[in-house]
Amino acid sequence: MEVLDRLDAYFPNADLDLMGSDLHQRARAMCGRLEAANSERYRSIRQEIQRGVCPDTFVQLLQRSEAENPARGNSYDYLDESISGVLQFDEPTDAPVHSGPEMVFYQPTPARHIFALIAAAGISESDVLVDLGSGLGHVPMVVSICTGARAIGVEVEPSYVACSRQCAERLNLSRVSFLEADARVADFSIGMVFYLYTPFSGSILRAVMDSLREQAAVRPIRICTFGPCTTAIAEESWLEAVTTREADQITVFLSRA
Ligand SMILES: C[S@@+](CC[C@H](N)C(=O)[O-])C[C@H]1O[C@@H](n2cnc3c(N)ncnc32)[C@H](O)[C@@H]1O
C-alpha cells in the first residue's frame, strides 16, 4: 500500500510529460502487479469472512490494539484502504435526504479505532453493539467479524442503510443488521454496548442520552465515543469513564449502578 501511494505520487496518471517514458511504463506495470496482489489478498480474506471465520489479519490487528493505543486523531491510513477493499462498500447513489444543524454528515471511524473500540470495551460474542448513526456500516461489520457479537447499525439515511445491508448480506454476516431510523425514536432495549462517533449534537444528543439513561436504569450498559461528542457525554453524571477521555481516541463509559 505504501509503495502504491508513492508510485501514485511520483507517477500520476495525468503527468503527460512522463507518459510513455520507459520509467513511467515500468511504474504503471508495478502498480498493476501490486493492485492485483492486493485484490487477491482481499478476495481470500472475504472468503474467510463469508465462511464465518475471523481472518488472521483481523486477529492480529486486535491483538495489536490490546497492546497499544492506535495513532490518535481522525486521519485515515492504509488500514482504511484495506478494510474498504475487503468489505467492498457500495457507494450510495442518492444524496442524503436528512440534514440539519444538529445532524453530523457521514464520516467513517478510522479503521484502527474500530479495533481499539473492540479492545477497550472488551466486546465479546455475548454482547450486542449498537452503532448510533452507522453510516455505511463498517463499525458493526468489523465488530461482528472480530468478536461474533450481534451488531446493529441505526442510521437515518435510507441510501446508507441500503448499501450497508447489501454489503453485510454479501459477506454472510447474519449477526449484523441495520435499522433505518432516527436515533431519537429507535428501540435500544437489546443493546449492551452503544457506540457514537459524534453523529449528532444539541437537542438530538440530549434526547438520545436520556433514552440511554432509561436503559441504564434497568441494566448496566457501556457507551463508547469518538470525536467531539466525548466532551458532552463526559458531563453525564450517570456515566463513569473507564479510559482516558480524549476526543481523538476511543473513550469507554460505564453506567453507574
Ligand atoms: C460521523 S458519521 C459516523 C458513521 C459511523 N458511526 C462510523 O463511525 O463510521 C454520523 C452518521 O450519523 C448519521 N446520523 C445523523 N443524525 C442521525 C440521527 N438523528 N439518527 C440516526 N443517524 C443519524 C449520519 O447520517 C451519519 O451517517
Ligand 1 mean position, distance from CA 16 (Å): 41
Ligand 1 mean position, distance from CA 19 (Å): 42
Ligand 1 mean position, distance from CA 150 (Å): 19
The best mutation among 200, 205, 250, 251 to test binding of ligand 1, ranked by most ligand atoms within 8 Å of the C-beta, falls on 200
Kindly report the backbone phi and psi dihedral angles of residue 225, in degrees, each rounded to the nearest multiple of 5, phi listed first. Answer: -130, 160
Domain residue ranges in the chain: 2-50, 56-255
Q: Dump pLDDT digits (tens) for 145-161.
A: 999 999 999 999 999 99
Averages of pLDDT over runs of 10 residues in the chain (257 residues) are 84 64 84 93 97 95 91 93 93 84 95 97 98 98 98 97 97 98 97 98 98 97 98 97 93 94
Q: What is the pLDDT of residue 175?
A: 98
pTM of the predicted model as reported, rounded to 2 decimal places: 0.94
Rounded CA gap, 93 and 179, in Å?
A: 19
Ligand 1 mean position, distance from CA 208 (Å): 13
Alpha helices in 68-196 (DSSP H): 78-87, 111-121, 138-147, 158-170
Q: What is the pLDDT of residue 3?
A: 87
Amino acid at 50: Q
Q: What is the pLDDT of residue 13?
A: 67
Q: List the one residue out of 85, 83, 49 whose CA is nearest residue 170.
A: 49
The residue whose CA is least distant from atom 9 of ligand 1 is 108
SS3 of residue 224 by DSSP: strand
The best mutation among 107, 208, 223 to test binding of ligand 1, ranked by most ligand atoms within 8 Å of the C-beta, falls on 107
Does the domain at 56-255 match CATH 3.40.50.150? Answer given as yes
Q: What is the pLDDT of residue 75?
A: 94
The residue whose CA is least distant from atom 6 of ligand 1 is 134
Residues in contact with ligand 1 (CB, 6 Å cut-off): 103-104, 106-109, 131, 133-135, 138-139, 154-157, 160, 182-184, 197-200, 204
CB-CB neighbours of 80 under 10 Å: 17
Q: What is the pLDDT of residue 43?
A: 97
Q: What is the pLDDT of residue 230?
A: 97
Ligand 1 mean position, distance from CA 132 (Å): 6
What would the grid cell of residue 166 be?
447489501
